[in-house]
Amino acid sequence: MANPSDDAGPTDPLKGITSTNTPAQNKIDRGTANAARCAQHSQVPELLDHVGTRNVARDLDILRATNSNAKLNYLGVSYGTRIGAIYADLFPGHVGRVVLDSAVDPSKREIDSITETVAFKEGVLRQYVEHCQAQDGCPLTGSTDEAVAQLAAFVDGLDKNPLTAPDSDATINTQDATAIIQQHAVAQPNWDALTAMLTPAMTNHDGTLMVKAKQNSSDLSPETTVEEVVSQANEQIMLAAVICNDNSDTDSTASDWDAQTAAEKKTYPFF
């Protein structure tokens, strides 16, 4: 798995992979390099080929058998519901009492689930924009579509010209700003606070309030110890490995993915 001694560093193993601004071939190359590094630091290099959900379900049945249980009683939440559904599909005769909460549809492709999530977040963001524009001093102008595009362009430019704060060495790049906006607009809505942050950021390139938001949020603040960095890196890489094993797409080309990204960017310009 990730190793703190790697030259590439484990702090952001999916950098350039999750961004919609990165060409698909670059994502493929980075993912291939991550897979090689993960295999290099795994006790069983072939492990990556067996980390899909169906393998997890098979492991569950082994645990059931080793405990001499005729049936598996199972509680699954979120992704755990996918494990439970696939277990029931593979071993229907071994299913006991099962509760699946916040179910994930196992028949859906990962890309379809992601698109649904993006559509939801984009819809909430549009509601925020309308709320902002109804207040005095909102930095977003024009129609809702124009305002969302304006916000997206501003955030996309922060990698080249990050926000800074006079009393801190911390900066706000595109990833930071996206996370802050998502948190305050969608995940834990605080629309007035978000407007208060965006107004100086977009009018004076003053990132003081956004930097404070980043520093005050455990979800947005970077890990501070080697153990935390490695733990998050391993979690991200393993999540990517599970998704790839469950939803392998060997028919599409990098050009196909770039075209799909471009089309979705028009529909969902921010997220």
Share of residues in the chain with pLDDT > 90 (%): 50
What pLDDT was estimated at residue 221?
A: 53
| Res. 4 pLDDT band, cuts 50 70 90 | very low
Residue 48 lies in a domain: no
What pLDDT was estimated at residue 9?
A: 45
Angle at 30 between CA 115 and CA 113, to 5 degrees: 15
Taking residues 54-80, what's their average pLDDT? 95
Buried b (16+ CB within 10 A) or exposed e, 136-145: eebbbeeeee
Residue 135 lies in a domain: yes
Taking residues 71-100, what's their average pLDDT? 95
Q: Is the pLDDT of residue 5 over 50?
A: no
Q: Tell me the DSSP string of 58-124.
A: HHHHHHHHHTT-SSEEEEEETHHHHHHHHHHHH-GGGEEEEEEES---TTS-HHHHHHHHHHHHHHH
Over the stretch 207-251, which tens digit does the pLDDT of each residue have?
999 999 998 875 555 556 778 777 877 787 777 788 888 877 777
Write the burial class of residue 171 (CB in 10 Å: 0-12 exposed, 13-18 middle, 19+ buried): middle
Residue 29 lies in a domain: no
Comparing 62-76, 125-139, 149-163, 223-237, which segment has the lowest mean pLDDT? 223-237
Residue 252 lies in a domain: no
Q: Give the separation between CA 256 and CA 271, rounded to whole angstroms.
A: 20
Residue 197 lies in a domain: yes
Over the stretch 8-20, which tens digit does the pLDDT of each residue have?
444 455 555 555 5
Residue 85 lies in a domain: no
Q: In the chain, what are the helix, strand and coil shares in percent, each to the nearest 5? A: 60, 10, 30
Q: What is the crossing angle of helices 144-156 and 174-182, to 10°?
A: 140
| Res. 7 pLDDT band, cuts 50 70 90 | very low
What pLDDT was estimated at residue 243?
A: 80
Structural domain of 168? 110-220
Taking residues 140-161, what's their average pLDDT? 95
Residue 50 lies in a domain: no
Q: Per the structure, how many domains does the chain have?
A: 1
Share of residues in the chain with pLDDT > 70 (%): 89
Enter the DSSP assignment of 262: H
What pLDDT was estimated at residue 83?
A: 93
Helices (H), 165-252: 174-182, 191-204, 208-216, 226-246
Q: Give the separation between CA 45 and CA 8, rounded to whole angstroms.
A: 19
What pLDDT was estimated at residue 20?
A: 58
Q: Tell me the DSSP string of 23-35.
A: -HHHHHHHHHHHH
Residue 58 lies in a domain: no
| Res. 142 pLDDT band, cuts 50 70 90 | very high
Q: Among 35, 68, 63, which residue's Cα sits nearest to residue 49? A: 35
Q: Give residue 174's Cα distance to chain centre.
A: 14
Tokens of 94: 């071994």
Tokens of 179: 């996370």
In sequence order, the 6+-apart residues with CB closer than 8 A to the CB of 115 are 264
Q: Give residue 142's Cα distance to chain centre.
A: 30
What pLDDT was estimated at residue 37?
A: 82
